[in-house]
């Protein structure tokens, strides 16, 4: 069915579906030739010679000629129905038959092609099928070529000329043969003496030539190629062919007796070619003239209509372009186009203006991409490539950098453009400067962000003062949501704190100046009132009419509370809430003024908490803060209304007592304060602590005329109370001031002494109680003052600790002791160890472990030769960090000694926990060991305790043989003191060791 439909489309003309006459005739001719060839082949096989010759005395149609005719007829029909490949197969077969046959004539050989191709049966009056005539072979070869070429060349104008040329030549070959038969010229059937063409074959060639011409005509009409468009070449070749054949026939008619001269042959051929050329040119010129006339005739009316239409179109186009250009200029939109073949971009004037480039700029694509900001180049390259390669349009907002270096936001739109074949050939689009729009959008975003996220409340109303919108801070401050207040008057927030006159004045100023600012008190949704700082501005249009009111307010209730809090903190202690030193001195100054006017006394008590530092360091600062907060609670019930208790700082308090008539009144208050502070404190953290106090008292006008003098003198008296053993009070005297001056002078001299290395070490031997063997020495520092000579440690060590100078001084003692012992060891002096005292301030001011390691490394002294003496109070101040601190020292390899054991906590718990090597009994117990039973019992207990814990015990301060005997009886391990030797300079120690008897009676050297 599909083939029938195709055939109908092929042979049917465009008018009414009628069959094209040329196609029908060509199809019929092909069928006739095919049937004729088939009939001849059947006659050969059937042995019926009637169909073979036209007349009995003429040449028969050969078998191979019949086969070729059958193939030609079938090929023509296949070509007409569109089966070009099938026609080509038939054409190639026919071409091969003709070419092989013709080659036998040209080369005078007999390759037996007629017998080999088809083994035809024998026939009467013939010995074999025979060889076809050469002109028959030529005609069939041209026909085969015409059938084979459409499959290779397609159906263009060249094919039409080939079909026409082949048709004319074949038609001429057959026509000349038929003319020879009509005139009884047998020589015309063939070429000279060669095999002659059968008359039936000649007729078949005429039919074939006619069919080829009709096929060419039909194909030309289908493709709107006029007859004269392809006929000139075939017509010229036809004329030339007929002339050549006619010349050959005339030569044969003359019997070949008078062969034409060579020049006559050439002249004849030249004449024939000239006539063919003239005919072809004439026909071609006629065709051209015809085409031009028709084109001109058809185009005249169309041209006039087109001109009119074009004029109208141009006018509309100009008007449209003007409108588009105006719109583009207003919208700042330009156009661009990229030719993908040469990769160049064309920019409109607006695009050039945006880039700050000259009008008419045309650049390469990469140069255009380079105008984009670095962060956008990959994106524009990606979307442009997708548009050019995949046909995906894009619409992007990006930033470019103009020729002058300015950044601009642009909107780039790209659209692929396809050619008729569907290939993308261009990308074009629009380009718009959106910098102003982005700025506006950014400003609106910022405004919206500020409106929504500002911590100030914002409310917008219309001209009739109806709320339009509020921000989130409004809701957070007032408690009202936007839905709850939209459309209502802001008076919904009124607290009733302000009268109508206040609001009347507010609106008068707002209408007159367009602005009002001030503090106002409003009410929250929950009924709570609050203070706010409110700013109201009126918004007007171009005509000056109010369109909106905008109120911005800040909740300043917290600020007011903060101000009050800051005011309080500026004059009060943050921890205890008591007046601070500033407020105390201010009140003291006013109290002195009142006392001077009224003639009464003022007392100032300077209170310092005893043992507070141990609690703060041992239990932690939070526990210390709890204790400081409970002190005012403990003391306030004892005070009068006019008395002022304040905190001077740290663990120091000041108590101002007005209207004092006698000094003993202040003493009575001081005794009461001491008693109150001696009671145990139970803290919120669960700790129970005990403290005491040292109180200094100064009186007005006895001890000073100004507040600063009274404070200074009370402070001096407080230090004197500490020197007297703490937990007491002391009145100020002039001697205290002189003592404070002496301490300050000593601190200055002490600093200079450290810088000038005015210190020396003395060494006191430590002796075994059992056998009198020297087990070590203790390094004791002395100050070799240039003014006063040798100064003992009792005078300068307290000042060094108070001033912080103990850290550099203690480090020097440690390094010098290690160095000196190493020197003695190198000299062969047998000293097992050197003991060095450590102050509590050294642990607070420096990394002791690092300093000890440094001293050992510098001196080269093995760590087991160094013994560090640490007091009980120091360990308690270290608190939970003490075990780790001692272990870090012990890890160095040094020995650890608890100095002055028995005068502090003497806790078995820490003795068991700490890595201690020796206990040292304080000299206060040794001094009274002969006469005081309690002192002896304490010494005995310490020795027993130490031995139970596998610790050595050493007693210090042994001054006579009786003390030594008691210690020996108590099984004390070692002792030191003046009984053995006073502290010795380093240069005297070797002599003492040489003179001191060992158990064997020999010296220690």
pLDDT digits (tens, 9 = 90+) for 133-164: 777 888 888 888 888 878 777 656 677 777 77
Say whether pLDDT at 560 is over 60: yes
Q: Among candidates 334, 370, 368, which has minimal Cα distance to 354?
A: 334
- Identify the residue with better confidence: 189 or 181: 181
- Identify the residue with better confidence: 829 or 248: 829
- pLDDT recorded at residue 819: 94
Q: Do 690 and 623 sit in the same domain of this protein?
A: yes
Q: Do 46 and 77 sit in the same domain of this protein?
A: yes
- pLDDT recorded at residue 296: 58
CATH number at residue 516: 3.30.450.20
Indicate whether 557 belongs to any domain: yes
Q: Do 666 and 611 sit in the same domain of this protein?
A: yes
**By mean pLDDT, which of 116-120, 175-179, 270-274 is the weakest?**
116-120
Indicate whether 306 belongs to any domain: no
- pLDDT recorded at residue 562: 74
Q: Do 721 and 816 sit in the same domain of this protein?
A: no
At what angle are helices 21-46 and 199-222 packed, to 10 degrees? 150
**What mean pLDDT, rounded, does the chain reach?**
80
Helix (H, G, I), strand (E, B) or coil at 778: strand
Is the Cβ–Cβ distance between 452 and 471 less than 8 Å? yes
Q: Among candidates 81, 30, 380, which has minimal Cα distance to 214?
A: 30
- pLDDT recorded at residue 127: 37
Q: Do 597 and 543 sit in the same domain of this protein?
A: no
Q: Do 608 and 666 sit in the same domain of this protein?
A: yes
CATH number at residue 678: 3.30.70.270
pLDDT digits (tens, 9 = 90+) for 85-109: 888 888 888 888 888 887 777 776 6
Say whether pLDDT at 4 is over 50: no
pLDDT digits (tens, 9 = 90+) for 741-769: 677 678 888 888 888 888 999 999 999 99
d(CA 819, CA 822): 5
Indicate whether 93 belongs to any domain: yes
Q: Among candidates 631, 661, 664, 662, which has minimal Cα distance to 645?
A: 631
Range of the domain at 485: 454-562
Parallel, antiparallel or unpaired: strands 394-401 and 457-462: unpaired
**By mean pLDDT, which of 171-180, 314-323, 593-602, 938-947 is the weakest?**
314-323
What H or E segment, with its residue span, contains residue 722?
Answer: helix 707-723
What's the helix, strand, coil split of the chain in %, to 5?
55, 20, 25
pLDDT digits (tens, 9 = 90+) for 460-474: 999 999 999 998 889
Q: Do 32 and 176 sit in the same domain of this protein?
A: yes
pLDDT digits (tens, 9 = 90+) for 622-638: 999 999 999 999 999 98
- Identify the residue with better confidence: 311 or 323: 311
Residue 201 half-sphere exposure toward CB, CA atoms < 13 A: 31
Say whether pLDDT at 17 is over 70: no
Which of 199, 216, 243 is the endpoint of a domain?
A: 243
- pLDDT recorded at residue 137: 83
Say whether pLDDT at 257 is over 60: no
Indicate whether 339 belongs to any domain: yes
Indicate whether 377 belongs to any domain: yes
d(CA 20, CA 717): 143
pLDDT digits (tens, 9 = 90+) for 725-743: 788 888 887 665 566 567 7
Indicate whether 342 belongs to any domain: yes
Report, as an integer, the average pLDDT of 788-816: 85
Q: State the total domains in the chain.
A: 5
Confidence of residue 190 (pLDDT cuts 50, 70, 90): very low
d(CA 834, CA 820): 9
Q: Which two tokens stand for residue 936?
A: 């002896």
d(CA 511, CA 987): 100
Q: Do 552 and 576 sit in the same domain of this protein?
A: no
**3-state secondary structure string across 515-577:** EEEEEEEEECCCCCEEEEEEEEEEEECCCCCEEEEEEEEEECHHHHHHHHHHHHHHHECCCCC
pLDDT digits (tens, 9 = 90+) for 580-595: 888 888 899 999 999 8
Q: Do 430 and 489 sit in the same domain of this protein?
A: no
Could you tell me how far CA 415 lies from the centroid of its own chain? Answer: 32
**By mean pLDDT, which of 830-839, 881-890, 970-979 is the weakest?**
881-890
Give the sign of the dihedral formed by CA 224, CA 226, CA 227, CA 232.
negative
Q: Do 548 and 576 sit in the same domain of this protein?
A: no
Indicate whether 317 belongs to any domain: no
d(CA 556, CA 568): 18
- Which residues, including other chains, have CB under 8 Å from residue 348's CB and lie 6 or more apart? 328, 334, 335, 336, 431
Count other Cβ atoms within 10 Å, centred on residue 506: 17
Whether omega for the bond prior to residue 701 falls within 30 degrees of 0, making it cis, is yes
Helix (H, G, I), strand (E, B) or coil at 762: strand
pLDDT digits (tens, 9 = 90+) for 812-829: 999 999 999 999 999 988
Say whether pLDDT at 57 is over 70: no
Q: How big is the CA angle at 709 (ends 708 and 711), to the nearest 5 degrees?
A: 65
Cα separation of the two ends of the chain: 138
Which of 732, 754, 787 is the endpoint of a domain?
A: 732
Q: Do 923 and 802 sit in the same domain of this protein?
A: yes
Indicate whether 258 belongs to any domain: no
Q: Do 432 and 543 sit in the same domain of this protein?
A: no
Parallel, antiparallel or unpaired: strands 974-976 and 952-956: parallel
Q: Which two tokens stand for residue 650?
A: 């740290």
Which of 678, 701, 732 is the endpoint of a domain?
A: 732
């Amino acid at each position: 069915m599909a083939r029938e439909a195709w055939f109908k489309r092929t042979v049917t003309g465009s008018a009414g579906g009628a069959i094209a006459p040329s196609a029908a005739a060509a199809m019929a001719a092909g069928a006739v030739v095919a049937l004729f060839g088939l009939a001849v082949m059947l006659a050969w096989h059937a042995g019926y010679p009637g169909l073979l010759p036209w007349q009995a005395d003429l040449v028969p149609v050969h078998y191979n000629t019949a086969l070729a005719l059958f193939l030609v007829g079938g090929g023509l029909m296949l070509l007409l129905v569109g089966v070009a490949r099938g026609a080509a197969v038939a054409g190639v077969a026919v071409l091969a038959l003709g070419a092989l046959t013709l080659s036998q004539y040209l080369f005078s050989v007999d390759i037996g092609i007629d017998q080999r191709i088809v083994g035809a049966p024998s026939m009467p009056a013939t010995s074999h099928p025979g060889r076809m005539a050469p002109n028959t072979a030529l005609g069939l070869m041209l026909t085969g070529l015409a059938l084979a070429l459409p499959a290779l060349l397609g159906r263009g104008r060249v094919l039409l000329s080939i079909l026409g040329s082949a048709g004319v030549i074949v038609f001429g070959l057959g026509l000349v043969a038929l003319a020879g038969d009509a005139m009884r010229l047998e020589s015309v059937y063939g070429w000279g003496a060669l095999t002659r063409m059968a008359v039936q074959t000649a007729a078949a060639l005429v039919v074939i030539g006619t069919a080829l011409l009709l096929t060419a005509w039909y194909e030309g009409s289908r493709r709107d190629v006029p007859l004269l468009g392809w006929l000139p070449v075939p017509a010229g070749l036809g004329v030339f062919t007929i002339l050549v054949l006619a010349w050959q026939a005339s030569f044969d008619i003359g019997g070949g007796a008078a062969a034409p001269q060579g020049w006559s042959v050439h002249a004849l051929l030249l004449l024939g070619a000239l006539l063919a050329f003239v005919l072809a040119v004439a026909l071609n010129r006629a065709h051209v003239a015809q085409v031009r006339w028709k084109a001109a005739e058809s185009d005249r009316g169309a041209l006039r209509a087109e001109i009119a239409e074009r004029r109208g179109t141009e006018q509309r186009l100009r008007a449209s372009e003007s409108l588009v250009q105006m719109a583009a200029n207003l919208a700042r939109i330009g156009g661009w186009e990229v030719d993908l073949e040469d990769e160049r971009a064309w920019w409109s004037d607006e695009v050039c203006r945006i880039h700050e480039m000259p009008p008419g700029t045309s650049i390469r694509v990469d140069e255009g991409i380079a105008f984009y900001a670095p962060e956008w180049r990959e994106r524009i390259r990606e979307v442009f490539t997708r548009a050019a390669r995949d046909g995906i349009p894009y619409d992007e907002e990006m930033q470019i950098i103009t020729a002058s270096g300015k950044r601009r936001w642009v909107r780039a739109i790209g659209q692929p453009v396809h050619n008729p074949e569907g290939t993308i050939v261009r990308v074009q689009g629009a380009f718009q400067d959106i910098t102003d729009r982005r700025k506006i959008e950014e400003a609106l975003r910022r405004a919206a962000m500020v409106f929504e996220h500002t911590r100030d409340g914002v409310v917008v109303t219309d001209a009739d003062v109806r709320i339009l919108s509020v921000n989130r801070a409004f809701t957070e401050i007032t408690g009202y949501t936007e839905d709850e207040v939209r459309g209502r008057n802001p008076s919904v927030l009124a607290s009733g704190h302000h009268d109508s006159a206040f609001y009347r004045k507010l609106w008068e100023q707002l209408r007159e100046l367009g602005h009002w600012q001030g503090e106002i008190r409003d009410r929250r949704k929950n009924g709570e009132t609050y203070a706010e700082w409110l700013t109201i501005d009126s918004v007007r249009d171009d005509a000056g009419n109010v369109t909106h009111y905008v109120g911005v307010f800040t909740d300043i209730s917290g600020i007011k509370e903060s101000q009050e809090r800051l005011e309080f903190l500026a004059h009060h202690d943050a921890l205890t809430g008591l007046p601070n030193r500033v407020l105390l001195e201010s009140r003291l100054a006013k109290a002195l003024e009142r006392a001077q006017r009224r003639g009464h006394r003022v007392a100032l008590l300077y209170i310092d908490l005893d043992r507070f530092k141990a609690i703060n360091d041992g239990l932690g600062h939070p526990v210390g803060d709890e204790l400081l907060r409970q002190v005012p609670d403990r003391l306030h019930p004892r005070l009068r209304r006019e008395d002022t208790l304040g905190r001077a700082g740290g663990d120091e308090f000041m108590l101002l007592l007005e209207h004092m008539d006698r000094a003993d009144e202040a003493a009575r208050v001081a005794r009461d304060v001491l008693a109150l502070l001696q009671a145990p404190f139970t803290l919120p953290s669960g700790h129970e602590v005990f403290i005491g106090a040292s109180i200094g008292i100064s009186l007005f006008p006895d001890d000073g005329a100004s507040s600063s003098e009274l404070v200074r003198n009370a402070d001096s008296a407080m230090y004197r109370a500490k020197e007297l053993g703490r937990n007491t009070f002391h009145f100020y005297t002039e001697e205290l001031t002189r003592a404070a001056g002496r301490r300050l002078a000593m601190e200055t001299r002490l600093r200079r002494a450290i810088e000038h290395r005015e210190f020396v070490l003395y060494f006191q031997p430590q002796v075994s109680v059992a056998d009198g063997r020297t087990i070590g020495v203790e390094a004791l520092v002395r100050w070799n003052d240039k003014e006063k000579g040798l100064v003992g440690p009792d005078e300068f060590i307290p000042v060094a600790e108070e001033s912080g100078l103990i850290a550099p001084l203690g480090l020097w003692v440690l390094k010098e002791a290690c160095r000196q012992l190493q020197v003695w060891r190198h000299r062969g002096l047998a000293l097992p160890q050197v003991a060095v005292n450590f102050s509590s301030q050294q642990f607070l001011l420096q990394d002791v472990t690092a300093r000890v390691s440094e001293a050992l490394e510098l001196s080269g002294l093995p760590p087991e030769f160094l013994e560090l003496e640490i007091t009980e109070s120091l360990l308690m101040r270290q608190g939970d960090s003490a075990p780790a601190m001692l272990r870090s020292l012990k890890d160095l390899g040094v020995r650890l000694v608890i100095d002055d054991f028995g005068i502090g906590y003497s806790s078995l718990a820490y003795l068991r926990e700490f890595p201690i090597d020796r206990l040292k009994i304080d000299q206060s117990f040794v001094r009274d060991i002969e006469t005081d039973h309690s002192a002896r019992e304490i010494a005995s207990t310490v020795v027993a305790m130490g031995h139970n814990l596998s610790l050595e015990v050493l007693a210090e301060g042994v001054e006579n043989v009786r003390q030594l005997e008691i210690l020996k009886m108590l099984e004390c391990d070692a002792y030191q003191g003046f009984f053995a030797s006073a502290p010795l300079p380093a240069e005297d120690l070797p002599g003492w060791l040489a003179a001191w008897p060992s158990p064997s009676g020999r010296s220690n050297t």
